[in-house]
Amino acid sequence: MKLKKWLCTLVAVGLTSAAFAGNTSELRILIVQFFAPMVQAEELITEPTEQQKEVFQLLKALKQGLLNYDTNLSKGVLQETDKAIDKAFKTTIPGILNKIKESSDEVTEELTPVINQLTNQILLNQQNFKQNSYSAEVLAAGQETIRSFAIAKAITEVGCLEEVPAGVLTWEIMGNAIDQMLESAPEEQ
């Protein structure tokens, strides 16, 4: 479970960074801001474990797949994988998230298979990294990364979410980020 905690910390920092990118409508900026802490973490680790190398490769693949989607979207030339990603981001995920009344737990069962499929589509949308070379644990961590990215995208996109779901998700993200910071802070003696 160290992998999940470690990746959750990176995602929390990424979400915080991505929130500042929310003032722009450009998807590319959101992608770069979201993945920036993860790229920085890779640079700081001098002797990564095999599992960390696998995580960083997966994160690079996800980022590249999203950047390819953004490029094709900007050009107006969507391939089949781009169309699947676009539908998930613009209709399916917001439709599910807008059902939230008090907690994101209310939609987890419905959202999970959509996120898993979206992750697969994003991985298929790039050719630089092997798509089937990830362990189940690393792939699950990647799916959580995409879940967080999709929520950040939905929150920052004007008109995507209704007021209540947007508020609930924002408070959950802030709470999770604070929890992660407190857990990673050195203990006082």
Number of CB atoms found within 10 A of residue 22's CB: 16
| pTM (predicted TM-score) | 0.81
C-alpha pair distances (Å), 89 with each of 6, 118, 121, 135: 26, 9, 12, 26
Distance of CA 185 to the CA centre of its chain: 23
C-alpha pair distances (Å), 170 with each of 12, 20, 125, 165, 182: 12, 13, 29, 8, 18
Q: State pLDDT tens for residues 107-146.
A: 999 999 999 999 999 999 998 887 667 889 999 989 999 9
From first to last of its 189 residues, the chain has per-residue pLDDT tens of 455 555 555 555 455 444 444 444 488 999 998 998 887 888 888 898 998 889 999 999 999 999 999 999 999 999 999 999 999 999 999 999 999 999 999 999 999 999 999 999 999 999 888 766 788 999 998 999 999 999 989 988 878 899 999 889 988 888 877 777 777 666 665
Backbone angles phi, psi at 58, to 5 degrees: -65, -45
Spatial separation of the C-alpha atoms in residues 15 and 18, rounded to whole Å: 5
Structure tokens at 156: 């920052």
Distance of CA 173 to the CA centre of its chain: 12
